[in-house]
Structure 1
Amino acid sequence: MQHVERAIFDLRRGLPVVINSPAGDHLVAPIEALDASLLTDMRAGAADPARLVLTGHRLSHIGLDSDLALAGLPLAAEDSRADVIGWACDPNASWPRPRAAIETDQVDEAAIALMRRGRLIPAAVVARVEGILAETLDQRVARGDLLSVNAADIFAHERAAPSLLRWISAADVPLEAAPRSRFVVFREADGLREHVAVLIDDEANWPDPVPVRLHSACLTGDLFGSLRCDCGPQLKASLAAIQQRGGGVLLYLAQEGRGIGLANKMRAYQMQDEGLDTVDADRVLGFGQDERDYSIAREMLAQLSVSHIDLLTNNPAKLAAMNHDAIQVAGRSSVYGRLTRENRRYLTTKAQRAGHWLDALLAEPSDRDEQL
């Protein structure tokens, strides 16, 4: 497990890693830090043509129809670093050759799993190595300056991650909307993310079912008051609603940008400024409509001994995801943020394309429209 966690860390630092499987050793490089000399070495030392592994969302955007969740594009000698990065994440790129994508293998799937876990663009250059390059990589692995990890271990880590969540610390934190609140911090096994459970009022007096809100972290909205979304006002409204109902739990989840991370969220924002909506912008980067993993939320509630809940949400996906394992969703309550001129398009997209229950909010005039 520790090798998998270090592999994620290395990829986030821009380093390649070696993934081994029964098919052999493969050198895997993240797109975000692809170096021209590394790309040249990978092509020269590959047993098969090096390939660019992309998600089905990204393949469709560059003009390659695919029913596969992942597929690879064999790279030619003339394909430059700029070409490869463009095919992986440039919103204006298209595949220039009449060549179909090829099915991926276990290593490709493991590589993209690592990229997703590290909140990197879900794309990688993968090459099965042989000869001098294979010998060089063996030497670097032996010295400890390059990591080798088994594909099977990556999948095992992915499956086990929620159960490895640890309760780290807790303290009373009085809030403006909820004066009697206690923060409980949970840390994931790889150490990359920490999630917070906000326990409001005395647990012994909580209603049954327990009011629960899942709130994904939003740096721009929660902290800076961004008008592009309704996250900050929705967070405050959720705390107040739980307080008014006699207490409960707000889970503050480190899943920025519907799970794609802050850096990719900013990339998606740039594409939205150029005309794409929030769903299409994420897909252009290779992500799905929602990359969040609610098994973490279920595990947090399990460790808090909360199983019978009333979920504060407008999102049908949350409702479906939480009503599993030991968690029973007994009811649902809407919780709205603030409609502004700047976030109306974003909220409309969520309602029309993701089925969020926002009709009542969208029927109102926006705050800033009234001020003009």
Structure 2
Amino acid sequence: MPHRQDTPPSPQSSQTNANPCSSLSVQRAVFELRSGRMVIVGTKSGDQALILAAENVTEDNLKALRCLSEGPVHVALTGRRAKALELIDEDLGPAFRVVLNSHCTANTIHQYADPLLGTPAPSSHVEEVPSRGYEQAAIGLTKIAHLLPTALVSKLNTSGANDAKTLAKEHNLLTVQAEDVFQSEHCVSQTLQRVSEAPVPLQDAENARVIAYRPLDGGLEHLAIVIGDPTKAGKPALIRIHSQCFTGDLLGSLRCDCGDQLRGAIQAIAKDGGGVLLYLAQEGRGIGLVNKLRAYVLQDQGADTIEANEKLGFDADERIYLPAAFMLNDLGLKQVRLLTNNPTKVQALSEANIEVVDRVTHAFPSNQHNETYLQTKKIKAGHLL
């Protein structure tokens, strides 16, 4: 994953070690891309490039990008997406570029990004991009923005940083550094702050309160649902890390088991005498609700849940668990019993210095709509079902 390459820093690191200004520039860049505007990405080597989110390219902003850059325009896409398009034989690298001709239209660019729109004409100009460059940063920004992970990129033909600054000022363009993009989610996880909490009696746990955590850059909030007193049980607290699922949690979708897992966890924690359910804003295994709906269409066309994410250009699972570790530290829970079938969650907490003394199985009966989904999680994702 282009924006998640480094080993995450420990969530116990002081908040003052993180740079909220850097993560704020990333959030601003995300807003610009979601709005269909260009952003300038700079690298350590001094290279500068104009980027657009591929799914938001129009004929107008494509023309504007070509006029400002005066250089070749190419599509930057993940290895997963390049393989899905049969541009490469194997997923050998994290990101690739496809050089576009001067007559390429917005519709063709959309096809590079979205598998539901057909396949673009084959290209022989496909190259793996340099590590930690502006192409990888562009893809990272689209992922953070919950857009399709494909970007339109053009290197600026400027003689120095001052020229790029002039261009940014004259055309009101935001500039963001590639390294800030790569470190953004790790940085954000270290700057979570409690912003609100209140008692919220639940149907299966009347003695519950909800604590909201927000990062300093103003990004999405994560929630800790504290049931009873987790510290007075005389044993490590029972906890569940639950990723937000609008369709399963709220609508009762039968395509997944998320709703059952959410309500079952609350019941289990209440029965145990107390614990915490961490509700992370990571819809669709980290790809966002819109992309999850796109993945559902691909699943209806024959892909499984993992293949669908990869056809869109994502990894099978884009989630990170540093926010969960940070919240557990804030709540004073250094040892936990974890309700999960996912070994990755156990590993992630252990790497963040949270001791998982026991993994508690958390499985529910399947139905005709989610049988294949659950089997895929077991066979391909290693879930212990």
TM value normalised by structure 1: 0.90
Correspondent of 1:93 among 109, 119, 125:
119
| 1:156 positional shift | 4.0
Alignment counterpart, residue 104 of structure 2, candidates 79, 102, 113: 79
RMSD: 2.2
> What pairs with 1:201-216 in structure 2 (closer than 5 Å)?
201-216=228-243
Answer whether contact 2:230 2:238 (CA < 8 A) is retained.
no
**Is this contact kept in 1: 2:97–2:126, CA < 8 A?**
no
Query: Which residue does 2:327 correspond to in 1?
Result: 300
Distance change in 2, residues 1:232/1:293 (3 Å): same
Question: Is 1:58–2:81 an aligned residue pair?
Answer: yes
Aligned residues: 357
Q: Shift in Å at residue 78 of structure 1?
A: 2.7
CA distance in 1, matches of 2:182, 2:274: 38
Q: 1:285, CA displacement in angstroms?
A: 0.6
**Distance apart, 1:49 and its partner CA:** 1.9
Residue 154 (structure 1) shift = 2.7
Identical aligned residues as a percent:
37
With 195-204 and 39-48 compared, the bigger mean Cα shift is at 39-48
Q: Name the CA shift for 1:141/1:46 in 2 (closer, same or farther; >3 Å).
A: closer
Secondary structure (helix, strand or coil) at the match of 2:314 reads: coil
Partner SS state of residue 380, structure 2: helix
- Farther-moved stretch of structure 1 (38-47 vs 257-266): 38-47
The letter of the residue matching 1:35 is T
Q: 2:35 maps to which residue? A: 13
Instruction: Determine the structure 2 residue equivalent to 1:361.
Output: none
Amino acid at match of 2:101: A
Q: CA deviation at 1:259?
A: 0.5
CA contact (8 A) 1:172 1:183 kept: yes
Between the two structures, name the one with larger relative contact order (CA 8 Å, sep ≥ 6). 2
Q: Report the Cα offset of residue 75 of structure 1.
A: 1.2
Segment of structure 1 superposing worse, 180-189 or 261-270: 180-189
The aligned residue for residue 4 of structure 1 is 26
Shift of the alpha carbon at 1:236?
0.7
Distance (Å, rounded) in 2 between the aligned partners of 1:88 and 1:150: 23
Alignment of 1:176-195 (within 5 A): 176-195=203-222
Secondary structure of 1:323 counterpart? helix
Secondary structure, aligned partner of 2:126: coil
Offset of 1:147 from its aligned partner?
0.9
Match of 1:39 in 2: 62
Aligned-partner SS, 1:225: coil
The letter for the 2-side match of 1:161 is V
CA distance in 1 between counterparts of 2:150 and 2:321 reads 23
Query: Aligned equivalents of 2:358 and 2:313: distance in 1?
Result: 34
Contact persistence 2:137–2:178 (CA under 8 A):
yes
Deviations 1:153-201 (A, max 9, x none): 3334343121111111111111111111111111123323111101111
Question: CA deviation digits over 1:347-371, x for unaligned, max 9?
Answer: 111111111122xxxxxxxxxxxxx
Stretch of structure 1 that moved more, 201-210 or 168-177: 201-210
Which residue, 274, 278, 294 being the options, matches 1:251? 278
Which one of 144, 161, 176 corresponds to residue 188 of structure 2?
Answer: 161
Matched, 1:68 2:93: yes
Residues 55 and 113, structure 2, Cα contact 8 Å, conserved in 1: no
- Unaligned 5+ segments in structure 2 are 1-21
Q: Secondary structure at the match of 1:200?
A: strand
Tell me if structure 2 keeps the 8 A contact 1:170–1:185.
yes
Query: By how many angstroms is 1:137 displaced?
Result: 7.4
204 and 309 in structure 1: CA distance in 2 versus 1, 3 angstrom threshold: closer
> 4+ residue runs of structure 1 moved beyond 4 angstroms?
134-140
Name 2:249's counterpart in structure 1. 222
| CA distance in structure 1 between the aligned counterparts of 2:140 and 2:186, rounded to whole angstroms | 11
Is the Cα contact below 8 Å between 2:129 and 2:135 reproduced in 1? no
Equivalent residue letter for 1:99: H
User: What is the Cα deviation at residue 103 of structure 1?
Assistant: 1.9
Aligned to 1:313: 340
Displacement of 1:215: 0.6
Change beyond 3 A, Cα 1:68–1:90: same
* Whole-angstrom distance in 1 between the partners of 2:60 and 2:166: 19
Is contact 2:71–2:157 with CA below 8 Å preserved after alignment?
A: no
- 5+ residue gaps, structure 1, are 359-372
Select between 237-246 and 76-85 the one with higher mean Cα deviation. Answer: 76-85
**Distance in 1 between residues matched to 2:214 and 2:345, nearest whole Å:** 21
- Contact 1:207-1:246 at 8 Å conserved across structures: no
Q: Deviations over 1:190-242 (max 9, x none)?
A: 32311110111123423422111001111011111111111111111111111
Counterpart AA for 1:28: I
The residue aligned with 2:260 is 233
Distance across 1 between alignment mates of 2:62 and 2:70: 14
Secondary structure at the aligned position of 1:354 is classed as coil
